[in-house]
Amino acid sequence: MKANRFSTLAKGLVLASLIIYSCKKTDLGTNDSADAFGIVPSINATQEITTSQRLMDCSSDCINPAGPFVERSAMCSSSWGGPNSDFHTKTVTYVAYNTATDLVVKVTYVKSGKNTNASDLVSATVNGVVRSVPTLASGATAEFTFPLPTGWKKCDVLSIGIHQEGQNSPINMNCWYSLFEICAARCATTFEGDAISCGTEREAIYTLTAESDMSYIKMQGGLTNFTGANADIEFLEGGENLTYSQSTPGGSSNRIIKIQGSMSACERVRIRIRWNSTNTGGVITGSWSVKDANGVEIAPSVAGLTCE
């Protein structure tokens, strides 16, 4: 009878000392290992991407310099203690992403059960470079920044090691991150004018770029002290879906030019206008504007042009 009681007690003590690891990842083709008696698991994990509804691919997708970035994350928990109030759990979570210059790794440590105000060592290692916080409080997040290698390119793989030490056996996670290249800079909407000649034979060039598709734009402005036949209007660049017209209001010496139609995103339109005038020097054009279908300016107006 005493022998049976001792055997039952011994089994209870063994069960009470178990350490249970639970690690979450979404990487396919890798395995978790966890030893219930305290051998620290090594997790080769890449994780779920949190910035998109679909899985991002470093070979075909890119990131904007200001974000959002492609985040990958993983979590590992360790539990120990008995079934009563002495049960403990600690959880380490990390999120990693790259910017144009750095790999950013954020590590969060949470201790639950007893001693929830614990502060322990947390570190991140990327390609052999170690960053650490010796006393990261439970519930806090440490952010580590690692400069990207010189000459890095898309899909280069960086190894990531996460280590937590304190409150029973350590937690280690061994993962990796494939870098995403920076998207080519997109254009901005700009509208500019340049006076080329201000004598009796005058010339001006207007340049417009739209950052997005425009189903309709109207560029309009005047030519001062206009004389002679129609102004000579020529598209030097772009403008395949634009047309122009010109008119002179009754009794006015100004010639009104209108350019209307559609433009594609980042299309650059350069328009050269030549005309005759009885004057020389001074302001050779009126104010020019460019508006959308609702009559709203898509770029600041260009004031009257003069030759320097």
Interval 143-176: pLDDT, tens? 999 999 999 999 999 999 999 998 888 999 998 9
pLDDT of residue 21: 55
The residue among 270, 23, 17, 276 whose CA lies nearest residue 168 is 17
Rounded-to-integer distance, Cα 171 and Cα 35, Å: 12
Position 1 pLDDT exceeds 50:
no
Interval 96-118: pLDDT, tens? 999 999 999 999 999 887 777 77
pLDDT of residue 254: 86
Position 296 pLDDT exceeds 90:
yes
Interval 230-247: pLDDT, tens? 999 999 999 999 999 999
The residue among 36, 70, 76, 106 whose CA lies nearest residue 173 is 76
The DSSP string of 122-154 is EEEEETTEEEEEEEEETTEEEEEEEEPPTT--T
What average pLDDT does the segment 269-284 reach? Answer: 90
Dihedral sign of CA atoms 257, 260, 265, 271 in order: negative
* pTM score of the predicted model: 0.52
Rounded-to-integer distance, Cα 165 and Cα 172, Å: 9
Give the mean pLDDT of the chain: 81
The residue among 287, 270, 259 whose CA lies nearest residue 190 is 270
Residue 126 structure tokens: 């990327």
Residue 5 phi, psi dihedral angles, 5° rounding: -65, -40
- Please tell me the CATH code under which domain 19-182 is placed: 2.60.40
CB 196 within 8 A of CB 204: yes
Percent with pLDDT over 90 in the chain: 56
Residue 266 structure tokens: 């980042």
Rounded-to-integer distance, Cα 245 and Cα 231, Å: 10
Give the list of residues 6+ apart from residue 168 with CB closer than 8 angstroms, or none. 19, 38, 78, 80, 88, 90
pLDDT of residue 51: 36
The residues of the chain that CATH labels 2.60.40.1530 are 190-292
- In Å, how far from its chain's centre is CA 86? 45
CB 181 within 8 A of CB 256: no
Position 134 pLDDT exceeds 60:
yes
pLDDT of residue 293: 95
Interval 44-99: pLDDT, tens? 333 333 333 357 899 989 998 888 899 999 898 888 876 666 678 889 999 999 99
CB 34 within 8 A of CB 41: yes
The DSSP string of 161-197 is EEEEESSSS-EEEEEEEE--EEPPPPP--EEEEEEEE
pLDDT of residue 6: 31
Rounded-to-integer distance, Cα 40 and Cα 89, Å: 15
Residue for token digits 């909407």?
189
Interval 11-47: pLDDT, tens? 333 333 344 556 665 432 222 322 222 223 333 333 3
| CATH H-level superfamily of 190-292 | ntegrin, alpha v. Chain A, domain 4 (2.60.40.1530)
